[in-house]
Amino acid sequence: MPPPTTVAEDDYRRLRDLVAAGGVTVLTGAGVSTASGIPDYRGPDGNRRVQPMQYAEFLASAEARRRYWARSYVGWAHFRAARPNDAHRAIAALQHGGQVESLITQNVDGLHQEAGSREVIELHGNLNVIVCLRCEERFDRAEVHRWIADANPGFTAQSDEIRPDGDIVLAAQDFTEFRLVRCVTCGSDLLKPDVVFFGGSVAKPLVEQAYAAVEAGDGLLVLGSSLQVMSGLRFVKRAHALGIPVAVVTRWATRGDEWATLRIDALLDDVLPRLVADCTQDAQG
């Protein structure tokens, strides 16, 4: 467990005042789910620790899809065992308490909803849903997992290194015997988790929905995101351009720090539970 971080009291009071006033839009990144056992992609220097599957690579060949699905099949057992942590629960409490109006997440794990958050804008999709890229039929992930298990009864592999997209590392693993499953509607093997792979893009209507949430808010609170990709950074820039205060709470530097009104370098567990307690007390007082 990481050592606790210290937050300057002046900074904490500014954060509390912003959130307690209500109408806040929250944007979350992978750092919110690390305490649930799902690591993020980047280290303190902002560089990726792992290379994720690229969308073009996934489309290019059955071999790439076989490699991805073999790893993802093994990783799913670890991923689906993850449970919401104190950060997820705190955000849900602030939403139900009226301090948080809208919640936008870059995460694909569904843990915000499991913690009780409602109407979550999932920028990058959700791993619990599988889509056929040919006919656009959608399937529950658990159902597709059963298809894969039936098609590969002898396939076994072990790895403790899970990634934020449910993929894992299987060093020197031979995937040549791994069998892809096909869409039961059209027969295509182009089945993919309904998430945005690196090199893909977020659907424009979803981006516009998120922009509208940011623009309607009285503040933008970024939690657990390095803001290294434009997918999240654009909302910080939009809030800044409109004069909406931006608070960023996460470990290490972020790409959006120059547009932040308030920057707190801290673990979320050292900030959010206290914030919930104080906002609840203020609301009752």
Active site (catalytic) residues: 124
Angle among Cα 76, 44, 268 to the nearest 5 degrees reads: 70
Which residue ranges make up the annotated binding site for Zn(2+)?
132, 135, 183, 186
If you search the block for the tokens 């609301």, which residue do you land on? 283
Residues 275, 279: Cα–Cα separation, whole Å: 6
Which residues are part of a known binding site? 106-109, 132, 135, 183, 186, 224-226, 268
Q: Which residues contact 120 (CB under 8 A, 6 or more apart)?
A: 103, 104, 105, 112, 113
Query: Residue 96 and residue 113: Cα distance in Å, rounded?
Result: 12
